[in-house]
Amino acid sequence: MDTEKMIMRLDELEPGRKGIVAGLNGKGLFLNRACAFGFSPGTEVMMIRNPSKGPLIAYLRDTLIALGRKEAACVRLRPLPGLPQHALEQ
């Protein structure tokens, strides 16, 4: 599978993996909030915490951001190839 062309939701990204923001799906307040947090196309994002329930934590632009699962599902990413960060540290 060619990860260069694959688009996924932020809530699908595994901890330690990185992606590039490809776009946002949503309206009004969500778009304003996401842009204020720095989720703009071309921004690199690394997933820090993504439990099966509850909010997730992503790292972008030197900031940790906590997002609800519904909000994270509106952020579209192009995953970057490579091992998760935690796999490199072992």
Give the SS3 label for residue 69.
helix
Q: Label residues 23-58 b or e (16+ Cβ within 10 Å = b).
A: ebeeeeebeeebeebebeeeeebbbeebeeeeebbb
pTM above 0.75, yes or no: yes
- pLDDT single digits (tens) 31-63: 888 989 999 999 999 999 999 899 999 999 999
Report the C-alpha gap between 49 and 15 in whole angstroms.
5
